[in-house]
Structure 1
Amino acid sequence: MFRFIQSYIADFLDLLFPSLCLGCKQTLSANEKVLCVACRIKLPETNHHEDPYNQNSLNKFAGKVPIRFVISFLYFSRGNLVQKLIHQIKYRGQKEAAKEIATWYGLKIKSESQLSDEIDVIIGVPLHKNRLQQRGYNQADWIAEGLAEALELPSRKDILVRKHFKESQTHKNRLERWENVSNVFAVAEGKQNELEGKRIALVDDVLTTGSTLEACAAELVKAGCKSVGIITIAATHR
């Protein structure tokens, strides 16, 4: 009886406040989430999971920190649908969209590659507590959760911490980005032993210069993990 009431209320709310496609703003049908079918098929997928050790991707980190693999789901470019999605995920409260899109990618990774066999735990790039309080959520944690559920792997929010509150990276070049995140991240006190020998998938929303992910990966490697791979929802064209 309770489930029936819940379903009835949900249907009623959908009539009053229908879910809209984050791309075209048209009403979503019952079997659509985040994007309508028309928008979803337009997503510029990278197919990185088919070649996760591609040197072009790994070159972002070459000579800086050892990275096992680098994959991104979608190509990000100014004004495209992916930029719109990332903006809404980061600044418009669409955390559930972050999880759903990550789930799509996780299922694709699981069915079309063997990459999940190289991962023990999934960790999102952390936000500083002040930023987390401002935004109310960390989109990287929601992405990590979606990937973890699809890949049937654990995700952890308590391993990495952001020690300092730094300004946005959005308009910085490569050197400025690195200087902005240098010595910002650390492995949480008492968690070092939990990383020993672990194969980590480090997760974020967008891969641009890689400086933030590089800084996080360096701390994980320092703590003794076996390997670090990188998964993001989007990446700029190389």
Structure 2
Amino acid sequence: MNFLKNIYELFYPELCACCNNTLTSNELTVCVNCRHDLPLTNFTNEENNLVEKSFYGRIQIETATALFYFFKKGKIQNLIHALKYKNQQQVGTLLGNWLGSELVESNRFSSIDYIIPVPLHKNKLKTRGYNQVSFFGKSMAKILKIPFNETILTRISFTKTQTKKVRFDRWNNVHELFFVEDQKVLENKHILLIDDIITTGATLEACCKAFEKTKNIKISIACMAYTK
């Protein structure tokens, strides 16, 4: 069995999702060199971090964090691109385990009841075949030992890509496009809303607005990366 595996890997080697170099037998998804070079934010235990400040005066949140800084043409862009467009869902698992391990050690995220991903519209989900943050959320939920719910928040209108839009246009493009299927399930609960990249925060803001009618709900945010 190992012989056949070695033959397969000889012709179809596993590549690092960041740099595309061949992974060694002891490496998984990302090579050791890239892992040490990824731009961690260390926001999880930092009050008033840049993610939290970006929502001041817009929505009320409890806490927020992002695992990495996002830079154009950087390794995190390569990593998330592999997850989002190349179906390398093991990237989501890797990042979910990584951030989940941070969250479970932080008292700032100790009261989370549910993890809820920013949803894709059903048309985009059908085209892509998966939500790129599903495995990310499921991995965190497993570590935190709390439910992951990707059906309670739905996207009710298809929009064009948010890429390269100015903040005002992006907000108009997502405003009131999310719907909570069952408000009562989340009453008196603390949810962790998750997404891949925070740029302007317009999509997350729109999601939070959808929960405004939910009684005594608390919302925190966790994302893979934050655009600095």
Of residues 71, 91, 94, the one that matches 2:88 is 94
The DSSP-based 3-state class of the residue aligned with 2:90 is helix
Q: Is the 8 A contact 1:116 1:151 kept in 2?
A: no
Instruction: Summarize the Cα distance change of 1:55–1:20 in structure 2 as closer, same or farther, 3 Å threshold.
Output: closer
For the aligned residues, what is the CA RMSD?
A: 1.8
Aligned to 1:220: 211
Conserved? CA contact 2:69–2:227, under 8 Å: yes
Aligned equivalent of 1:206, options 197, 208, 216: 197
The alpha-carbon deviation at position 194 of structure 1 amounts to 0.6
Query: Is 1:50 the counterpart of 2:41 in the alignment?
Result: no
- Cα distance in structure 1, aligned partners of 2:6 and 2:215: 50
More displaced stretch, 86-95 vs 32-41: 86-95
Whichever residue aligns with residue 215 of structure 2, its letter is: G
Q: Distance in 2 between matches of 1:81 and 1:56?
A: 21
- Following TM superposition, by how much is the alpha carbon of 1:156 offset from its aligned partner in structure 2, in angstroms? 0.5
AA in 2 matched with 1:142: F
Corresponding residue for residue 114 of structure 1? 107
Contact kept? 1:123, 1:141, Cα under 8 Å: no
In structure 1, what is the Cα distance between the partners aligned to 2:145 and 2:6? Answer: 30
The letter for the 2-side match of 1:76 is: F
Task: Specify whether residues 128 and 16 from structure 1 end up closer, same or farther in structure 2 by C-alpha distance, changes over 3 A only.
Answer: same
Residue of structure 1 aligned with 2:58, choices 57, 64, 75: 64
Aligned to 2:56, what secondary structure does the other structure show? coil
Deviation for aligned residue 1:9: 6.0
Residue pair 2:80, 2:91 contacting (<8 A) in 1 also: no
| SS at structure 1 position matched to 2:34 | helix
Amino acid at match of 2:205: E
In 2, Cα distance between the equivalents of 1:65 and 1:91?
30
CA shift in 2, pair 1:13/1:108, >3 Å: farther
Structure 1 contact 221–227 (Cα < 8 Å) conserved = no
User: Aligned to 1:34, which of 17, 29, 36?
Assistant: 29
The answer to whether structure 1 residue 137 and structure 2 residue 130 are counterparts is yes
Amino acid at match of 1:205: D
Alpha carbons 2:43, 2:49 under 8 Å: kept: no
Distance 1:161 1:225, change over 3 A: farther
TM-score (norm 1): 0.89
Whether contact under 8 Å (2:167, 2:200) holds in the other structure is yes
Could you list the per-position Cα deviations for residues 38-60 of structure 1 after superposition, in whole angstroms to 9, with x for gaps in the alignment?
11000000000121x31543232
SS in 1 for 2:78: helix
Structure 2 CA distance, aligned partners of 1:83 and 1:106?
20
Q: Identity across aligned pairs (percent)?
A: 38
Residue 204 of structure 1, CA deviation: 0.2
Shift of 1:8: 7.0
Q: 1:75 aligns with which of 48, 69, 73?
A: 69
Determine which of 107, 115, 127 is the counterpart of 2:120: 127
Indicate which of 7, 12, 15 corresponds to 1:17: 12
* Matched residue, 2:180: 187
Q: Runs of 4+ in structure 1 displaced over 4 angstroms?
A: 7-12
1:103 aligns with 2:97: yes
- Structure 1, unmatched stretches of 5+, are none
In structure 2, runs of 5+ residues without a counterpart are none
Within 1, Cα distance between the matches of 2:91 and 2:7?
22
Q: CA deviation at 1:29?
A: 2.2
AA aligned to 2:22 is T
**CA distance change for structure 1 residues 161 and 82 in 2, over 3 Å: closer, same or farther?**
same
Change (3 A) 1:67 1:89: same
Size of the aligned set, in residue pairs, is 228
